[in-house]
Amino acid sequence: MACFGSFGCFPAKYRRGRGTNKRGGHWRIFTLKELQSATNNFNYDNKLGEGGFGSVYWGQLWDGSQIAVKRLKVWSTKAEMEFSVEVEILGRVRHKNLLCLRGYCSEGQERLIVYDYMPNLSLLSHLYGQFSTEGLLDWPKRMKIALGSAEGIAYLHHHATPHIIHRDVKASNVLLDSNFEAQVADFGFAKLIPEGVSHVTTKVKGTLGYLAPEYAMWGKVSESCDVYSFGVLLLELISGKKPIEKLEDGAKCSIVDWALPLLVDGKSEEFVDPKLNGRYNEEELRRVVHVAMMCVQTAPEKRPTMQEAVDLLKGKTKDDDSGMLEEDDPVKDGSMQEGGGELVNGNGVLKGSDA
């Protein structure tokens, strides 16, 4: 292994300038001059977004291919660590629902990571951002995004070696390609978990509203923390509500606290984003709500694994998957059975459609 700067360690191949990630794609080291040229010197008009880490820019390489360039705001020990972690993890994972590394640049105090450009930007941009009024996220696309995100996270937990905890699963970190295929992104907070280790205790990182209780309170992080965050993401995806919303009286309410009374009262239709205008599949809605509420249970041991969540979203169940829930769980006690779960016209037609 070769150490990057003073903080992150990369395989020796990172120094050679080119490599192949396990997905079969090629990455390389870019020069700062190349990325300045591709982004028109990081022009404001090329900016795709901005966060605590810095900014992301659209760019076009000499061969015409489009890229997204994450440019760290300032150099610091913390920024260097997050940069190192992200490059190392992106260089070792391969899955159609994980963002692919194109390369990186490290010159002086500049730290940049280069990815494939995602033309539909992030899930956040469609739920609340610049695309939110365009109605592009119909029900089938939302289900596709739910399953794709789940499969990407499940790969990190169950198939990557060592296993990887993302620690920042949220709508802005689910990018969408031209076909609205989900690409889980941003691995700056990720943790590598050695075989046989159930959890680690660490400084809390992530985004308010998505944090599992045991992580937010005690810093105990495990794969189950990602499962909780994914449950919040599912509720967001079907409802169009933010993880934490401000009420009229100024108080704040989490999406989990908002969802629980609806679940108990059997009002599954009230989960649905009004922007869908009633066009959704009732059976799929019941299934997604079921999975979401299992994922956001307070006790981590009661939550499903990400692979179980994937199987449930696909409609695959064990002989009795309700056994995964406690007896007093509202998902199990019958509150989900409103309407018998039948589809309009009994044939899977979208509710509210003219078919």
* Residue 234 exposed, middle or buried by CB count within 10 Å (0-12, 13-18, 19+): buried
User: Which H or E element spans position 150?
Assistant: helix 139-158
Tell me which residue of 98, 88, 101, 107 sits closest to 28, measured CA to CA: 101
CA 269 to chain centre: 25
Alpha-carbon distance of 173 to 232, in angstroms, equals: 13
Q: Is 168 a catalytic residue?
A: yes
Alpha-carbon distance of 180 to 127, in angstroms, equals: 13
Q: Is 70 assigned a ligand-binding role in the annotation?
A: yes
Which residues 6+ apart lie within 8 Å of 238 measured at CB? 142, 271, 272, 273, 285, 288, 289, 292
Torsion of CA 73, 29, 168, 200, to 10 degrees: -110
| 3-state SS, residue 82 | helix
Residue given tokens 């391969």 in the structure block? 94
For residue 90, CA distances in Å to 115, 164, 250, 351 come to 10, 11, 41, 40
CA 20, 23, 25 angle in degrees (round to 5)?
45
Amino acid occupying residue 347: N
3-state DSSP: the chain helix, strand, coil percent, rounded to 5? 40, 20, 40
Q: Which of the following is catalytic: 116, 168, 226, 354?
A: 168
Tell me the CB-side half-sphere exposure of residue 58, using CA atoms within 13 A.
Answer: 12
Annotated binding-site ranges for ATP? 70
- Active site (catalytic) residues: 168
Annotated binding-site ranges? 70
